[in-house]
């Protein structure tokens, strides 16, 4: 399959030719290219769907940094080896840049509905949405079966987990402060009152943050946009989890907040069902009600900083507390 013209599948990847994509498949002995499709969702546009004579694949390119693909592979391997959560394995990295001008990954395309696609969600009934939310919770609980002896973050130089030397509560509070600083640097929308509000909530959660736990894998972007799912006789089953490169080992309960926020915007009943699904296999620990607001704060700061830095999503004059307050005061438990 060959044609001289190029096609743009995403702004980030730019123009790609079938000859280039065939060369990428050939690099790993994955057959002859039959079809190419754009990926309908995703913030950064790093992926494109490929079908060859051997199987369906995802090509992932134009990495954000030198560590992105090795870090993703590290966590994909661990999840594949030590949990029941399906991930795109093997995660094949070509570090060379001769084909596209950037390194790339080829991984299996896992079966299932792209449930993060609004067009797909619109075709689901209210009962489907509830069943899917429960399946999302159950799958997250299974993901958190992946644990580590200590809290820690991936270190590119050693390609393993570097332990967090301070206590978790101290490290988490420092992380909140770091995101506050980044938000302040991004725009003037994060006010002194916002900072005082955040610090007050952190102080109120201090005791709950010090409740001991077994460090688990924290995805940090667990939501319907990063999974595929299939119908089953019981409801739905998550058949693929992606974008694990933001992960670290910490308190797995932090992973609950992004999906809770997303579901609550649609219907609080979905957030409740998601948490019920999670607790089927993994009960919430003592102090969750007190930790929840600051875990939500941490998640909202990440989104707020991106929006402020790129001047997207948020209307002018909106403060952080005005936007995040709704999510922080949610009590779907």
Q: What is the pLDDT of residues 179-229, one digit of tens each?
A: 999 999 999 999 999 999 999 999 999 999 999 999 999 999 999 999 999
> Hey, is 319 helix, strand or coil?
coil
- CA atoms in the 13 A half-sphere facing the CB of 136: 30
Determine the average pLDDT of the residues in 3-22.
88
Residues in the chain: 333
Query: For residue 126, what pLDDT is reported?
Result: 96
Determine the average pLDDT of the residues in 317-323.
96
Structure confidence by residue, pLDDT tens digits, 36-85 = 999 988 778 999 999 999 999 999 999 999 999 999 999 999 999 999 99
Tokens of 238: 């998550």
**Percent of the chain residues topping a pLDDT of 90:** 94
Determine the average pLDDT of the residues in 29-37.
97
Residue 124 burial by Cβ neighbours in a 10 Å radius (0-12, 13-18, 19+): middle
Average pLDDT, the chain: 95
DSSP string covering 13-67: TEEE-HHHHHHHHHHTT---EEEEEE-S--SS--EEEEEESS-EEEEEES-SSTT
pLDDT band at 310 (very low <50, low <70, confident <90, very high): very high
Residue 173 pLDDT exceeds 80: yes
pLDDT band at 265 (very low <50, low <70, confident <90, very high): very high
Structure confidence by residue, pLDDT tens digits, 111-156 = 999 999 999 999 999 999 999 999 999 999 999 999 999 999 999 9
Tokens of 196: 């005082």
**Percent of the chain residues topping a pLDDT of 70:** 98
Domains present along the chain, CATH in parentheses: 7-108 (3.30.200.20), 118-328 (3.90.1200.10)
Query: For residue 229, what pLDDT is reported?
Result: 98
The reply to whether the predicted model has a pTM over 0.75 is yes
Query: For residue 242, what pLDDT is reported?
Result: 95
């Amino acid at each position: 399959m060959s044609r001289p013209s190029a096609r743009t599948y995403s702004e980030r990847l730019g123009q790609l030719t079938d000859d280039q994509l065939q060369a990428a498949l050939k690099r790993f002995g994955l057959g002859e290219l039959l079809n190419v499709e754009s990926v309908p969702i995703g913030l950064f546009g790093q992926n494109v769907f490929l079908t060859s004579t051997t199987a369906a694949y995802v090509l992932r390119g134009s990495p954000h940094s030198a560590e992105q693909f090795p870090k993703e592979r590290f966590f994909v391997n661990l999840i594949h080896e030590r949990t029941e959560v399906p991930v795109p394995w093997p995660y094949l990295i070509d570090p060379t840049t001769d084909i596209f001008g950037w390194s790339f990954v080829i991984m299996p395309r896992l079966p299932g509905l792209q449930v993060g696609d609004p067009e797909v969600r619109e075709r689901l009934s209210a009962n489907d949405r509830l069943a899917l939310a429960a399946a999302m919770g159950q799958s997250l609980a299974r993901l958190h079966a992946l644990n580590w002896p200590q809290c820690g973050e991936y270190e590119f130089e050693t390609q393993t987990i570097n332990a967090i030397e301070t206590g978790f509560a101290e490290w988490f509070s420092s992380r909140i402060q770091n995101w506050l600083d980044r938000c302040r640097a991004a725009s003037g929308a994060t006010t002194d009152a916002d900072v005082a509000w955040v610090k007050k909530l952190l102080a109120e959660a201090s005791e709950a943050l010090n409740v001991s736990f077994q460090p688990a894998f924290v995805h940090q972007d667990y939501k319907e946009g990063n999974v595929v799912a299939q119908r089953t006789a019981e409801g739905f089953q998550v058949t693929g989890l992606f974008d694990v490169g933001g992960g670290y080992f910490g308190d797995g309960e932090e992973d609950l907040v992004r999906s809770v926020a997303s579901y609550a915007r649609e219907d609080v009943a979905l957030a409740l069902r998601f948490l019920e699904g999670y607790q089927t296999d993994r009960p919430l620990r003592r102090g969750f009600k007190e930790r929840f607001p600051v875990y939500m704060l941490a998640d909202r700061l990440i989104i707020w900083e991106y929006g402020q830095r790129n001047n997207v999503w948020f209307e002018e004059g909106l403060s952080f507390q005005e936007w995040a307050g709704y999510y922080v005061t949610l009590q779907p438990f």
